[in-house]
Amino acid sequence: MAHTSQSNVHSIRAHEVIERNPGMNFEPDLFGRIRINRSAVERRAATVATRRSLKKDYQAAWLLKALSCIDLTTLAGDDTPGKVRRLCQKARRPLRRDILEGLGVAEFNITTAAVCVYHNLIETAVRELEGSGIPVAAVSTGFPAGQIPLQLKLAQVRESVAAGAAEIDIVISRALVLTGNWQGLYDEVRAYREACGDAHLKTILATGELATLANVAKASWVCMMAGADFIKTSTGKESINATLPYSLVMVRAIRDYCELTGYQIGYKPAGGINKSKDAINYLILMKEELGNHWLTPTLFRFGASSLLGDIERQLEHHLTGSYSAQHRHPVS
């Protein structure tokens, strides 16, 4: 019977309270001269999967860590209250009891980091998660394309907060990046931050639509300057979503911003992360670039749905030596 180490398990659900990023004045000189060597970024990103080898109990511990950082998400046109209630129950109890007992972690309250839904299902999720400590995140501002007037975007943010969302995932206006209107992007995100109030603001860059890695870096800087609590890669609806090269550029922007201001910004890759090995690669990237401190749900999240099912399947394989069918690990 396998048992993950107690020190690893104790850190799984650590939600350290950190001082929230207040933002700063718009300072284009801090990012205006950024240039990115794409070849160098891609070479560094390619080493992530080869620098460390995680086996047996160590791999299981990292998978439990990944599980605890998932924003368990459903953003489909056929979402129903029943589907969201099932998703919330899975967030509360993401692993079967026999797997928890086999890993020796049954006494720990292992849950996902949050549940992410559309606005009209916030209240359903809040009721279903009552007493669990799991926050509800809501996508907003005309997700996924963001092609609605600013007044409607701000109204949607305020309505989602009023409905009980503790975290708001907004989409930036990509046109502001593509036309170099950095002041406009700053003003937009600053307005979202004010509309969020106490709710945490996650800014989705839609990296696959920003044309260059330099634009990704600059957009990251502007969103953090404007008061973002997290920067996030993608909506999951673009043709290119989270990748390790995009992530490397974004987490290095987080590192530089923290060195300048002292404020720690969270990071959320989303879209296309559905395999356990991919999740571990992102955790390794965070560890190597930002350190162990960022490996908690307070500062790192996955935007995912099917990833949880694969993690549960891999953990069962760790215990039994056999892979079970995917349908034995439903997410909702």
Amino acid 55: pLDDT:
82
pLDDT digit string, tens, across residues 22-54: 999 999 999 999 999 999 999 999 999 887 778
CB neighbourhood size of 190 (10 A): 18
Give every residue of the chain whose pLDDT is below 50, as ranges.
1-2, 5-14
Amino acid 322: pLDDT:
80
pLDDT digit string, tens, across residues 153-169: 999 999 999 999 999 99
Amino acid 50: pLDDT:
86
Catalogue the active-site residues: 169, 232, 268
CB neighbourhood size of 252 (10 A): 17
Residues 311/63, Cβ–Cβ less than 8 Å: yes
CA distance 275 to 15: 25
Amino acid 13: pLDDT:
46
CA distance 135 to 258: 25
- The phi, psi pair for 201, rounded to 5°, reads -105, 120
Fold designation for 56-328:
TIM Barrel (3.20.20)
Amino acid 332: pLDDT:
60
Amino acid 52: pLDDT:
75
231's tokens: 């920067």
- Single pTM value for the model: 0.93
CB neighbourhood size of 300 (10 A): 25
